[in-house]
Amino acid sequence: MLALIGFLLVVWLVFVVLGFVVKGLVWLAIIGIVLFVATAGWGWLKRNTRA
């Protein structure tokens, strides 16, 4: 499960970088930031419930 969350975090970071590098794709960066924060929060909550 942690591997999937880590993979998703990397994908969202790629979207953020592409969104800021390619002019006109700022919307992609915003979506990437939102998804990154949501995935990181979900993973953090899942990690805490395991213990």
pLDDT at 50 > cutoff 70: no
What pLDDT is recorded for position 22?
Answer: 86
Q: pTM higher than 0.85, yes or no?
A: no
On average, the pLDDT of the chain sits at: 85
Average pLDDT of the residues in 26-30:
85
Using CA atoms, how far apart are residues 42 and 22, in angstroms rounded to an integer?
29
pLDDT at 51 > cutoff 70: no
In one-letter notation, the amino acid at residue 22 is: V
Split at pLDDT 50, 70, 90, the class of 37 is very high
* Residues with Cβ within 8 Å of residue 17, at least 6 apart in sequence: 29
